Structure 1
Amino acid sequence: MHVSPDSGPPGCPLVDITARFMPRLTEFAFEPGLVAAVDQHAAAVRDALVPGPRAELRREDLADYVLGFTDVLTENGWREPVGYDFAAVRLTAVCWLVREHDLLSR
């Protein structure tokens, strides 16, 4: 999925996050450890947001999560690293969820 600044609903925080972090998914081919880390983070986010095994991940819920998460990062003065820290992996996992659940086209 290609995400441009014009894709997704206007004002949705997922648009900015995917524009910034979606390119990191291409590093999966070179970093097997990254695949495992992103998978674990994606599972943790999904488990926190989806009430049951058959329930669907909703764009609104993930957007609210991202707003809260990035607010805390801003309050703490976080800057996106060249490599990966907890926050960068978590935001990359959000991009993976957006892509896998096609959350910006619905």
Structure 2
Amino acid sequence: MTYRVVCDENLEPQVVRYLGKQGHEAVYVPDVLEKGVSDAEIARYARGNSYAVLTNDTDFLDDDRFPELKVLYYGSLQDSAYEIAEAVDEAGEYFPEHESLPQVLWLD
């Protein structure tokens, strides 16, 4: 199981590196869009490229605002980049395919 993940800029960029080491395809918002880009632009990019959004931003939890967007929500920024990447990897045990992910998956 591997996911395609776009990591919001509210996460440490090291999360992308750890996800890559685990076999996931991960990109960082400031690297593929621009720093400070709107949530709507992130959602458009994610949907257009079949990515789930890994974020700590509660705005992405609004399924009326972001329909058909897969969101991996990590509520605590106190954990290390490694721990956040591990939580994403562990989700694969329960949701082995991108398509099987619920619209919002709470990771912590």
Fold-level similarity (TM above 0.5)? no
Bigger fraction of residues in strand: 2
Where relative contact order (Cα < 8 A, 6+ residues apart) is larger, the structure is 1
> If the length of structure 2 is used for normalisation, what is the TM-score?
0.34
> If the length of structure 1 is used for normalisation, what is the TM-score?
0.34
Bigger fraction of residues in helix: 1
